[in-house]
Amino acid sequence: MAVYLRCKCVAVMKELLTGQNAPPVSVIIPVYNGRSTLPDCLDALEKQDYPGFYEIIVVDDGSTDGSGDYAASKGCQVYRQRNQGPGVARNTGVNYAKGEFLVFTDDDCIPDANFIMELVKPLLGGDIIGSLGQIYSRQKSLVARFIHYEFFERYKLLNKVQYIDWVATYAACYRKEVFQSAGGFNDTYSSEDCELSFRLAQQGYKMVFAPQARCQHKHFENYFKFIKYKYKRAYWSIWLYKSFPSRIVKDRLTPFTRKLSMMFLCLFFLGLISTIWWYEGIWLALIGVLLWLIMILPLAWKILRADFFLGLLSPVFYLTRTLAYVLGVTHGIIDYCRGVRSVKKSAAK
């Protein structure tokens, strides 16, 4: 299975890139105990069709499994630091980067041969400062297949707009001078890529979706790890949206249906709880369930047509995902009110 968007072009090159006119690029990969996935990533990066100079920088973020040693044996530039999270690791890599453009990806990604080329194209000869590629999966597990369709839903949304406000670091490109002048990734944030993107968009910079820049990604296959990750992302979002409140209503990567489904599930629980002293609260709960179903059934139907068995199970995935979001946001609000002011991402997913 490898469904991905083949979309409209985001930029037109005035001339063919050659070894003489292609700008230098630095590819930066943070790694923490990624020895099992890093080899495929580095092999794919070695086979890029980019005609100009590009370097591969691996920042070993305190690994204990020999990830850094393996990258060094492959001829990559390797810089080591104590474990501080991927945002700090990426900033470290930028400090040593020689390229005019910065390309970010992760150790569990396997870039297509034109990955660098397609990320760089939109930034040539214009005022675009950042681009986002897309990931896809060929995994067979139900969880991985559901995650694949989650991303596909987001990419369809991105392809409808001229400029985007969220560049995820699994497939990202920035102009180095703009990245550095903005101060790089904020290491007090767990969603450091979102925070930087929102900050740049707020300052008037333009970023675009580059759908032809694709890389294969290893999604979660364990259901409980998937739910735990969704819970954490929702928890961290409190600090992100506190800094960018306008993004609560709308950003260009998160489908609004996901936020509405959270509201309707909360309505269901409020109605259910209210039945303790107010019998008519059951109607409020039923309305919440009905509205939630209205939100998710079109999405479930789309999956059903492409992947029948997963489509049948997708309401269960949507329900548990929404519940994880609600619980994560609730926990985040409580902690923020208690005085917690920054949350850093754990080293492992």
Does the structure show a pLDDT above 70 at 324? yes
Q: Give the per-residue pLDDT at 246.
A: 84
Q: Output the CA torsion 211→214→218→222 (10° steps).
A: 10
Which residue segments constitute the domains of the chain, with CATH numbers given?
A: 25-221 (3.90.550.10), 243-338 (no CATH)
Those residues whose C-beta lies under 8 Å from the C-beta of residue 12, and which sit 6 or more positions away, are: none
Does the structure show a pLDDT above 70 at 343? no
Q: What tens digit of pLDDT does each residue of 145-174 get?
A: 999 999 988 898 888 889 999 999 999 999
Q: What 3-state class would DSSP assign to 330?
A: helix
Q: What 3-state class would DSSP assign to 58?
A: strand
Q: What 3-state class would DSSP assign to 329?
A: helix
- In terms of pLDDT, which residue wins out, 80 or 281? 80
Residue 286: pLDDT band (50, 70, 90) is very high
Residue 6: pLDDT band (50, 70, 90) is low
Those residues whose C-beta lies under 8 Å from the C-beta of residue 105, and which sit 6 or more positions away, are: 27, 29, 41, 45, 111, 115, 169, 170, 171, 172, 215
Does the structure show a pLDDT above 50 at 342? yes
| Closest residue by Cα to residue 100 from 134, 55, 44, 133 | 55
Is 122 in contact with 128 (CB distance < 8 Å)?
yes
Q: What tens digit of pLDDT does each residue of 11-58 get?
A: 444 457 777 789 999 999 999 999 999 999 999 999 999 999 999 999
Those residues whose C-beta lies under 8 Å from the C-beta of residue 298, and which sit 6 or more positions away, are: none
Task: Measure the N-to-C terminal CA separation of the chain; round to a whole number of Å.
Answer: 24
Q: Give the per-residue pLDDT at 345.
A: 55
| Closest residue by Cα to residue 208 from 8, 2, 6 | 8
Secondary structure (H, E, C), 132-160? EEEEECCCCCHHHHHHHHHHHHHHHHHCC
Mean pLDDT within 2-12: 48
Does the structure show a pLDDT above 70 at 302? yes
Q: Give the per-residue pLDDT at 340.
A: 80
Length of the chain: 349
Those residues whose C-beta lies under 8 Å from the C-beta of residue 320, and which sit 6 or more positions away, are: 227
Query: Which stretches of the chain are DSSP H helices?
Result: 38-46, 67-73, 86-96, 115-120, 142-158, 176-181, 192-202, 223-243, 256-274, 281-306, 308-338
- Token reading at 35: 């020895």
Backbone angles phi, psi at 61, to 5 degrees: -90, 55
Mean pLDDT within 86-104: 97
Residue 93: pLDDT band (50, 70, 90) is very high
State the burial class of residue 80 (Cβ atoms within 10 Å of its Cβ: 0-12, 13-18, 19+).
middle
Helix 142-158 crosses helix 223-243 at what angle (to 10 degrees)? Answer: 30
pTM across the whole model: 0.89
Residue 188: pLDDT band (50, 70, 90) is confident
Mean pLDDT within 210-225: 96
Query: By mean pLDDT, which of 1-10, 72-81, 165-174 is the weakest?
Result: 1-10
Mean pLDDT within 102-106: 98
Mean pLDDT within 175-202: 92
Residue 257: pLDDT band (50, 70, 90) is confident
Those residues whose C-beta lies under 8 Å from the C-beta of residue 35, and which sit 6 or more positions away, are: 63, 65, 66, 67, 70
Is 25 in contact with 116 (CB distance < 8 Å)?
yes
77 strand-pairing partners: 57
Does the structure show a pLDDT above 70 at 278? yes
